[in-house]
Amino acid sequence: MSIYKDKRVLVTGGTGMIGIPLVQQLIDLGAKVRIVSMDDGSLAHPKAEFIRLDLTIYENCVNACEGMQYIFHLAGIKGSPKIIQEQPATFFESMILFNTNMLRAARKEKTVERYMYTSSVGVYSPFRPDGSVAEVFYEDDVWLTFPSENDRSPGWAKRMGELQCESAEKEKSPIKFSIVRPANVYGSYDNFDPKNSMVVPANVKRAVDGENPFVAWGDGTPVRDFVHARDVARGMILAMEKSPGAKYPINLGSGTGYTIKELVETIIQNIDARPEVRWDTTKPAGDKKRILDVRRAKELLGWEPQVTLQNGIKETIEWYKKNKEIINKRYNVFAAEQKKKKKILICGATGFIGRNIAESLAKKEEFEVYGTYYKSEPLKEK
């Protein structure tokens, strides 16, 4: 019998690319699922409870965990190498808060029995401790090196999340922990926003939208380990069943490396057009090689990926063609940051010049205008 039957299971990030197939698989196993996400709920499974909550706020995490027995913590932030370099604080601060608040709330809730933390391939260094290039990433090597400079903020934030679980476990927590480190995950319901999407959705969008010449980032030589979201979800379910502990994280990848050039060729093979491909070497391309060793997943869980890259890319392309409008419904932390109004304080705002400036700025949607006069009392917000 499944350990999930009739269990109350929380999935944070349950409307995301991995969360959606995970929720479906859990429901198929008889679980009673609660989803927490910042999306509007339109992508939530109809048989699951949906709550829209910001998990950077501790009280929201307490509400999310109430009455739950198993917790899959998937909520996080991901983006292209470019957006990682441009907005490192957005990655680091949000993920540290997600991890800290969720684990603290889970430990407070007496009903919680199992807790899974979703880490990332970004915790690994591209180099071995001796300085040589890491041909494959092994789970137990993480703390011998530092995360890549290309993943500095999210990599360290994910490492801290792992360490938090390990620390809780050492304090004799009754919760059974598991940690997974997925490779480059792709599939339906991915983020296809061209401003901050990852390599697979970014290139799928270019191809399907008919970009010609087709301009890909870098020189095409970096190697990545691609794994389909449905396979990752299945691996997560098996990992929680085993719950080997926070000191035994599990890589979930294909164990096979593909160059970005091979990825682009695979994408183009699955569309009708044959655009001219150009490589923009001025754009960041990330580390040269990222391949996960997946022997632990095979030996401990009996898990292997089932979706080939060819079939997975074909499926992703077909999904994107039919669901482009979903992109506009997804919560995107980077877009949300951009939409925040700029707050402007005008000292002397009750004077002739100050008031005219305040009234002029207040007419513009991108500004929130505040003012003070000589007693430092706030002007009524415009």
Q: What per-residue confidence (pLDDT) applies to 53? A: 94
- Domain ranges in the chain are 8-336, 341-372
Q: What pLDDT, in 10s, does the model give residues 216-238?
A: 999 999 999 999 999 999 999 99
Element (H, E) at 51: strand 49-52
Select the more confidently predicted residue: 36 or 194: 36
With tokens 């909550």, the residue in question is 53
Please give the C-alpha separations between residue 330 and each of 36, 48, 193, 319, in angstroms, as whole numbers: 14, 18, 10, 15
Q: 183, 189, 295, 309: which is closest to 248 by C-alpha?
A: 295
User: What amino acid is encoded at 105 in this protein?
Assistant: A
Give the integer Cα–Cα distance in Å for 84 and 32. 36
Select the more confidently predicted residue: 143 or 173: 143
DSSP 145-213: S---GGGHHHHHHHHHHHHHHHHHHHTT-SSEEEEEEE-EEE-TT----TTT--HHHHHHHHHHTT-SS
Q: What per-residue confidence (pLDDT) applies to 353? A: 78
Instruction: Measure the CA angle with vertex 221, ends 218 and 227; round to 5°.
Output: 100
Q: Is the pTM of this model over 0.95?
A: no
Fold of the domain spanning 8-336: Rossmann fold (3.40.50)
Q: What per-residue confidence (pLDDT) applies to 380? A: 46
Q: What per-residue confidence (pLDDT) applies to 373? A: 43
Q: What per-residue confidence (pLDDT) applies to 362? A: 62
Let me know: does 258 contact 223? Beta carbons within 8 Å.
yes
Q: 280, 149, 288, 290: which is closest to 218 by C-alpha?
A: 280
Of 6-10, 42-46, 360-364, the least confident: 360-364
55 pLDDT more than 60:
yes
Instruction: Measure the CA angle with vertex 209, ends 208 and 214; round to 5°.
Output: 85
Give the integer Cα–Cα distance in Å for 307 and 305. 6
Q: What per-residue confidence (pLDDT) applies to 182? A: 98
CA torsion through residues 115, 120, 125, 127, sign: positive
